[in-house]
Structure 1
Amino acid sequence: MKRLIAVITFVVLCFNVLSALAENDEKSEAINFELNYILERFYENSSIECEPLDISGQANMGFADEVEGDGKGGWTDQGPKNDMSSFKNFGSQKFWNIPFNIINPDKNEGKSCIILRGQNNEAFPISAEVPVNTTAGGIYVLHSTAYGAGEKAGRYSFVYEDGTSAYFDIVGDQHIKDFWGTLENNFTRVAWKGSNASSANITLNIFALNNPHPDKTIKLIRFESDGEGQFINIVGVTLAKELPIFPAMAMTGESNPGVVRYGIAAWKKYTDPDENVAQENVLNMSEYLDAPAGKYGLLLSKGDKFIFEDGTVAKFWGTNIVGNAAFPTMQEAEEIASRLSRSGYNLVRFVNLDNEELTDERLDKLSYFLKLLKDNGIYAYFSLLGNEKGDGDKITDGWKIDGIFRDDLIEKKAEFTKKLLTHKNKYTNTAIGKDEMLVMIDMADQNSMFDMEYGFTVLNVNDENSMAELTQKFNKFLKKKYSTTGKLSRVYSDLLSTESIEKGTVIINGNWRYGIFDENRKADVIEFFIQLQNDYYQKMKSVINSCGCKALVSGFTNRWDNVIPLHSIANSQTDFVPMNTMFSMGVDRTKDWPYLTELKDNTIFLDVDSTVSSDGHDGKSLINLVKTKVDGKPFVVSEWGAANISKQYGENSIVMAAISAQQGWTPIQYCFIYGEINKDKISDVYSTYNNPVTLGMSYASAALYYTMDELKSKQIINQSISDVYKNKSNSIGITSYLAAKTSNKFNKKNIVTKFNRSNEFIVDNGNVYWDMLDGVFFANTDEVIAFSGNVSKEESLGCLKFEIYSDTATIALVSLDKNKLENSEHMLLSVGSDAVNKGTVYRSKYVIQKIGDGGIAYNMVDGKITLKTDKNIEVYALNSDGTRETMIDVERDEGKNAVFYLNGALNYEIVRG
């Protein structure tokens, strides 16, 4: 009986032990690496409360080793020719401004450091535990390895008083470096250098690790080695009261896998601008706006130009407001309108107004918003069919393509349009549609009949009923054109026996564009689609006019490359021609293709694409816009933007401002706000409202656009309509396209304009120089100098010379007093690189695994600025609302020019005396 009780007791004991182990294991969590990085140049002035820990009780080795392999000596027991005996920095020491207590081996029985097992050497322990018994924001470790390699070296863990723990796996050559050599990265920096008999360079590095639970009492810190490969050599450990700060290396274009992007180089917390303060400061381009909107009467379309009723030529620099952002609260509306006007936007295109029902409450919110825009000199542009394809019967369910040809949906859209345009805005005492601040309307956003291509696009006919109605209309079209199936069979070589005009069974194959079909059938499908779009356009324009609205009306803002000429032909009968395009579609197309707008956990983005530095990919985006421009019609880039999160954030607006101004386009950036109004995080890849870099560069971009002149030379690309229907077009290089103001003319006769094709990818057309292969973009006017791209050497243009200590940046100098820059006494310098949310995690060099939440940070561009002037200047670093934050020291170079260093701000005010 006693034996049975003993067995049962043993089993219960084992079960309890195993349960406890399992419970403890469940309470252990991986640490999400996060540090507060500061540029090395600024790091020396930083401070953090630190407390060195006493590791004397855990120390098992000294620095000097007299006999190799005896298990008694110092360091890694490799003998006197390969030890650390040259290290003599004992006692209280500082490395990278962090205090450590280094044990003098003479005062601790020859023991001064913790050496953990490597190479399966059992003379060394595999772990050590250092008591703490207090709270901390993280630790600094002065350490190194031997036999270092790019593999797991060990693990550092915080063990808390409550029994839980948090661990971080230490990877060799990443978080810890071999003591031979002087290698470092943004995880670990060289703290001490010396030599021994085997190596001219031996080092100790400093590493910092955040504590994910700074409010918990840390019982101890456990250091473990893998045992089989690398030694772990710990010389000092120091607690940081708060999140550790760390000296960042200059940007090299390399991202370290697993690092929170917040801490890759030199990141600064961003504070959302106070609009009341900002309106009174220099970050304000509202002087380019002419309030109130509508003061010059109706907007007219005359040739390639937009001209107001009184003869004033209109020049619009626009942005999109998407979805629910069009219906803000009064306070939100006031802040948005202020930020829009400060950014220099004088046109807002509203997209996805139909994402929900137009209730009285939503109409009232929109009305107040429109009133504020009008007062600020900002015009409105409505896109009527914006919602994505849906499943229901309401217009808010989307339907896209179906909405162009289905009679019931067209009627619903007509009702929606009437309700929107006839609503009386009580804040302006005018119906929305009759207000002359509403200048443009398009039929459908990013959609046309030419999107009906199975296997190529997500936009397609929604169900069998829609397809039946489309087929019926197609057969009516054929009957009118050919009258009988017999005549049709003499035109279509691939007509099936089951296809009949009389029975309405001639099909429209979803793969009409790419399938192997008779050319005449394809041409008829194209002609039919254009007719459907024109019919829809005429119906909706009639509805718009019936509301008393005299805004200019256009068709469809399709963006697919292969249908550009067809899109242009279809829209050539409207008041203006719109087109959407996206630069740098840096999206991992294996995941959630084709659009990723909201940034969610595990959403994947690539930052490999750059508009400026390209082998023609983004040059092609601009070429597609040139191909869309129809001669004799104003051209609107209804959406442009970049679907990437990268250090090239700032470049796109500079490029678009310069190129579109030269070409005479009306550019509308996508977007200012996408749906959610969020001040605490970057909530999508496009929005400018809460992105410090795109917002910070918006002031210079607006100034560049408004002051850049159109090119004087003009060229026409003549194309045969029949060639377009048969997918034949000219192949022209980007230099040819952007050498002059270029547009397209569609003729019945086969007349083709010849160009010399350029493969050089260099644009130099006066005031713009763009070398795509080297990744350099310059644009300048009398009042603005702008540069974006790769910074490998000192660059100079006009009165500005700069040397940036990173691999890429965008920089612009703007005259605020409207004088030429060389004479301007008041200037704005803007710089930009990258912005992310706190907590963003990179899966690899280019791929974001987790976008992060709460807190926005931007990359502080470091560099030297030279202004060619012999006059005294004062330079002030500005905060996000334009308040002077710091006065920057100004020196004189050998040429007596003014020289100063950037201090991490996005914008700088320069006053010349």
Structure 2
Amino acid sequence: MRLWIALCVLAVALPAASAPNMLLNGGFERGTTGWSLPGEAQVVSEGAREGRNCLRISTNSPGWTVAGQDCLLPRGAKRVRLSGWMRTQNVRMGANPWEKARLQITFYNANGELVGGYPPGFDIDGTTEWTLYTRDYEVPADAVRVSLIAGLHNATGTAWFDDLRLEAFDMQNNPLQPITESQTDTRDWYPLDSSPDDYTKPAVVDLSRYLHRPAGKHGFVTVKDGKFVFQDGTPVRFWGVNIVAGNVFMDKTTAERTAARLAKFGCNMVRLHHMDASWAQPNIFGNHPTSTLNLSPEMLDRLDYFIYQCKRHGIYIYMDLLVHRKFQRDDGVRDWETLENGAKIAAHYNRRLIELQKKYAHDLLTHYNPYTKTRYVDEPTIAMMEIINESTLFWLGGYGALPPSYIHEINDLFTEWCSKKGVSRPQGSVPDLLRQKNSTVGRFLYEVQTATYREIYNYLRSIGVKVPIAGSNHWENWTGDVLSNAQLDYIDRHAYWDHPQGGYSPTNRFNNSPMVKQPAGSTITWMGRQQMEGMPFIVTEWNNCWMNEWISEAPLLMASYGSMQDWDGLLQFDYSGGDWAPRMEGSFNVGNKPHVMAARVPAALVFLRNDVPPTGKSYIYSFKDADDWLLRPMGDTVPGGLMLMQRVACQKDAPQTPVPDVPTDNFTSQHGLLRWSREGVFLINAPRTQGAVGFIGGKALDCQNVRIEAQTPFCQVVLSSLDDQPIAHSKRLLLTAVARAENSGQMYNPSRTSLLDEGKPPILLEPVRATVTLKGIRATKVHILDHHGRRTGKTLPVTGGKITIGNEKTFWYEVEVAPATAK
């Protein structure tokens, strides 16, 4: 091994001298500073090669268990040297030769896209002593960032790392100085006024008029012709959020303010999530130390009151059942100590776990709410529910966390199933056969999962549940799993852009790449492959996650294409609070991200009003309920960009149509209302909503009734009709202008892929400087609105149809328009 490494190193011209280390804390002497670490990683002093500390990563479950750090390449970098010490103990290789203890780097361009492929790293198994590994790499063209990982790649065992280094050199092999930190110049940004809102006062920005008051006034939600409709035939789309864990069990004042705020922002659905999690403070069991068999009366009372407030404000409830429940000693669950939270995988086939799911559902759904004066099963505010969150028997990664007894159980079930079917049982365990994509085990998993869904589904119906029910919503998209879920009432899926890596602390890694520059690889195109023709499709978890600095791009993109695809619901994950927050925190909580909340207003109008209707022609992807299809990715032959041009859905045994030609850089919808380019510009040109999102600074962008000329490099400027008339005939318009936001003093690492300092209050907002020219309409007055969407008493001049914005310390303006002159 050492001889092979030496030959590789000698194959390139090595710099003669060393350079400063681009890695922050490469020797781990400052603990975890600078590193994104998985839960299995520890900085330890025992066994350190040099100095006080080293990094140890140990796991018995195969998975992506790696530490990471990103570095910005210095200007002129042509060569990078990776070096580091590693030792291993009992590292067992995964299914592929490279799945061992690993030390590797990769390169990325300014859009966050991988460039240069996957250069060779160092992959070690077995037991080894401290060994120095060194290799030099040419920097690919367009690379601006280098990412290092160190850990176990789908392998088990223990690995130690110490004195890791990344050094950069120019063309002449001169060492280059690393960039040590990055801080945004926020000197002309303005602080958010986080004073409490008075929800009793009218506001220009108030979308509650689109909500049913009370929720349930049209009866229970049903499914008709593949869409959600109420009993009286009223169609509905759901635009909302998730409220998570302990935040569900709020006091009465917070419940009232939260429901009022959500209604004001146009949210007509809340998904109640992670109520059963052991880490939730509190949880629905009252955090009982030894049992999850009984629901807490106090927590039920809090839940009852919040549901009552949602009903009053026209907000429907999406009820989760099994999510992250940690079974306890007195629950009668085998190996409860080591069974994963939520009993992923096992909950689909273990009889005790299935019966406990039924008991929980019975106790929760037959509970009487004294505020609404109904049982949950009789309350039309509760619009739909799912059986289990993010779990599927087709998820290979989930088997690694199963206690051995549950692996034995599913192996025995497979043996019994093969005997009943009269087929020869393939050699190997169920997870091994799944890894090999064995078609027999694929059929077995499909039948077991579907049978359990049907059993619990029928039980829910037997206790009085009247609303649509889904199975699960895993982020993977195997055909067998999607088909299994299609045996119930609707399809639910999840997807995230720039999900935090290695944990949820701001010091963990994120890519910080703007989705607007990767249209064909966006979460929209990922989810679009899983829509089933003739069934409602809802996304109950999506987000572009903080600390990504471009997250205000997301709401309008999701709403526009979700509307064009004719999706039935979009619920952003997650939300808390009844007011603006003084400081941003949490990777997912949009409630304290003012730029995202402001951007949700025009997005809500687009989705709830169907401002972007489906394209006239759909592309239908045909698949088969055949053994050799079940372990294939759903829609694997559909180009991502196609979903930005026309509606896409999949259908079993549909006539197979050729895949249309799809461009790679610029995507225009069939009806011409949406345009999205890889340069990072999105344009919506619909009758009631017109505007632009992305890197639009320095460009003149035209829609039918507005021209946008922004100076702010990244922002969105959107014009929305407030009276539901086309902009050309509307008397009141809302102008939304949003860019970035940061906490005061927020500090990034050099590559802006981790936070060195989260910052403190107040939140700072980047002003959007732009000239907005109205075409074919005459504005008579432009009112500057405050952060609660009310008039401040200040106005802007309108000259020749031009409105110049940028100094008003707001993200909303109300435009009054003179009536059109008859010709």
Query: Who is 1:655 aligned against?
Result: 557
The Cα shift of 1:569 comes to 0.7
Q: 1:373 to 1:786 in 2, by over 3 A?
A: farther
Q: How does 1:118-137 map to 2 (within 5 A)?
A: none
State whether structure 2 residue 320 is matched by structure 1 residue 383. yes
Query: Is contact 1:867–1:898 with CA below 8 Å preserved after alignment?
Result: yes
Query: Who is 2:15 aligned against?
Result: none
Which runs of 5 or more structure 2 residues have no equivalent in the other structure?
A: 1-74, 77-177, 278-282, 286-294, 334-339, 819-823
The Cα shift of 1:433 comes to 2.1
State whether structure 2 residue 254 is matched by structure 1 residue 335. no
Query: Is contact 1:649–1:833 with CA below 8 Å preserved after alignment?
Result: no
Query: Is contact 1:402–1:461 with CA below 8 Å preserved after alignment?
Result: no
State whether structure 2 residue 411 is matched by structure 1 residue 411. no
Q: Which of 318, 326, 342 is the matching residue for 1:398?
A: 342
The Cα shift of 1:865 comes to 2.0
State whether structure 2 residue 441 is matched by structure 1 residue 525. yes
Query: Who is 1:909 aligned against?
Result: 814
Q: 1:259 to 1:461 in 2, by over 3 A?
A: closer
Counterpart Cα distance in 1 of 2:239 and 2:672: 19
Query: Who is 1:248 aligned against?
Result: none
State whether structure 2 residue 607 is matched by structure 1 residue 705. yes
Counterpart Cα distance in 1 of 2:462 and 2:739: 49
Q: 1:783 to 1:676 in 2, by over 3 A?
A: closer
Q: Which of 581, 595, 609 is the matching residue for 1:679?
A: 581
Counterpart Cα distance in 1 of 2:790 and 2:644: 39
Map Cα deviations across residues 759-805 of structure 1 (whole Å, 9 max, x no partner). Answer: 42432222533333121111233221132111131212122222211
Query: Who is 2:738 aligned against?
Result: 832
Counterpart Cα distance in 1 of 2:347 and 2:187: 49
Query: Who is 2:420 aligned against?
Result: 480
Q: Which of 216, 220, 228 is the matching residue for 1:294?
A: 216
Q: 1:605 to 1:412 in 2, by over 3 A?
A: same
Q: 1:768 to 1:613 in 2, by over 3 A?
A: farther
Query: Is contact 1:580–1:640 with CA below 8 Å preserved after alignment?
Result: yes
Q: 1:676 to 1:888 in 2, by over 3 A?
A: closer
1:691 counterpart letter in structure 2: K
State whether structure 2 residue 710 is matched by structure 1 residue 773. no
Query: Who is 2:475 aligned against?
Result: 559
Q: 1:826 to 1:617 in 2, by over 3 A?
A: same
Counterpart Cα distance in 2 of 1:477 and 1:449: 15
3-state SS of paired residue (1:745): strand
State whether structure 2 residue 213 is matched by structure 1 residue 307. no
Counterpart Cα distance in 2 of 1:836 and 1:567: 40
3-state SS of paired residue (2:596): helix
Counterpart Cα distance in 2 of 1:644 and 1:511: 37
State whether structure 2 residue 463 is matched by structure 1 residue 547. yes
Query: Who is 2:296 aligned against?
Result: 359
State whether structure 2 residue 747 is matched by structure 1 residue 807. no
State whether structure 2 residue 244 is matched by structure 1 residue 322. yes
3-state SS of paired residue (2:727): coil
Counterpart Cα distance in 2 of 1:819 and 1:642: 31
State whether structure 2 residue 668 is matched by structure 1 residue 764. yes
Q: How does 1:328-727 map to 2 (within 5 A)?
A: 328-355=250-277, 356=283, 357=285, 358-387=295-324, 397-451=341-395, 453=396, 457=397, 460-482=400-422, 488=424, 492=426, 495=427, 507-508=429-430, 510-515=431-436, 522-560=438-476, 563-585=477-499, 587=500, 589=501, 592=502, 596-597=503-504, 599-600=505-506, 602-608=507-513, 610-614=514-518, 616-618=520-522, 621-673=523-575, 679-707=581-609, 708=611, 709-722=613-626, 723-725=628-630, 727=632
The Cα shift of 1:717 comes to 1.3
The Cα shift of 1:465 comes to 2.0
Counterpart Cα distance in 2 of 1:463 and 1:760: 45
Query: Is contact 1:447–1:459 with CA below 8 Å preserved after alignment?
Result: no
Q: How does 1:167-316 map to 2 (within 5 A)?
A: 258=181, 260-261=183-184, 263-264=185-186, 266-272=188-194, 274-277=196-199, 280-316=202-238
The Cα shift of 1:844 comes to 1.4
Q: Which of 755, 768, 781 is the matching residue for 1:874?
A: 781
1:488 counterpart letter in structure 2: S
The Cα shift of 1:871 comes to 3.4
Query: Who is 2:54 aligned against?
Result: none
Query: Is contact 2:690–2:718 with CA below 8 Å preserved after alignment?
Result: yes
Counterpart Cα distance in 2 of 1:697 and 1:321: 19
The Cα shift of 1:379 comes to 1.0
Query: Who is 2:151 aligned against?
Result: none
The Cα shift of 1:334 comes to 0.9
3-state SS of paired residue (2:712): coil
Aligned residues: percent identity? Answer: 22
Which deviates more, 788-797 or 843-852? 843-852
- Select the structure of larger CA radius of gyration: 1
Q: How does 1:777-792 map to 2 (within 5 A)?
A: 777-791=682-696, 792=698
RMSD in angstroms over aligned alpha carbons? 2.8
Which deviates more, 638-647 or 666-675? 666-675
1:354 counterpart letter in structure 2: D
Query: Is contact 1:873–1:898 with CA below 8 Å preserved after alignment?
Result: no
State whether structure 2 residue 727 is matched by structure 1 residue 821. yes
Map Cα deviations across residues 123-150 of structure 1 (whole Å, 9 max, x no partner). Answer: xxxxxxxxxxxxxxxxxxxxxxxxxx99
The Cα shift of 1:273 comes to 5.5
Counterpart Cα distance in 1 of 2:298 and 2:563: 39
3-state SS of paired residue (1:366): helix
Under a length normalisation based on structure 2, what TM-score does the superposition of the two structures give? 0.70
Counterpart Cα distance in 1 of 2:341 and 2:636: 39
1:769 counterpart letter in structure 2: L
Counterpart Cα distance in 2 of 1:257 and 1:537: 53
Which runs of 5 or more structure 1 residues have no equivalent in the other structure?
A: 1-148, 151-254, 496-505
Under a length normalisation based on structure 1, what TM-score does the superposition of the two structures give? 0.63
Query: Is contact 1:432–1:438 with CA below 8 Å preserved after alignment?
Result: yes
Q: 1:758 to 1:362 in 2, by over 3 A?
A: same
Counterpart Cα distance in 1 of 2:666 and 2:448: 41
Counterpart Cα distance in 2 of 1:259 and 1:627: 38
Q: 1:901 to 1:677 in 2, by over 3 A?
A: closer
Q: 1:291 to 1:329 in 2, by over 3 A?
A: same
Q: 1:307 to 1:267 in 2, by over 3 A?
A: same
Following superposition, which runs of at least 4 residues in structure 1 exceed 4 angstroms of deviation? Answer: 388-397, 458-461, 674-678
Counterpart Cα distance in 1 of 2:712 and 2:806: 12
Counterpart Cα distance in 2 of 1:580 and 1:675: 23
Counterpart Cα distance in 1 of 2:463 and 2:519: 49
3-state SS of paired residue (1:381): strand
3-state SS of paired residue (1:575): coil
Counterpart Cα distance in 2 of 1:390 and 1:759: 50
3-state SS of paired residue (1:350): strand
Map Cα deviations across residues 79-119 of structure 1 (whole Å, 9 max, x no partner). Answer: xxxxxxxxxxxxxxxxxxxxxxxxxxxxxxxxxxxxxxxxx
3-state SS of paired residue (1:582): strand
Map Cα deviations across residues 869-904 of structure 1 (whole Å, 9 max, x no partner). Answer: 563522232221123336243142xxx323322323
3-state SS of paired residue (2:590): coil
Counterpart Cα distance in 2 of 1:459 and 1:831: 47
Query: Is contact 1:676–1:683 with CA below 8 Å preserved after alignment?
Result: no
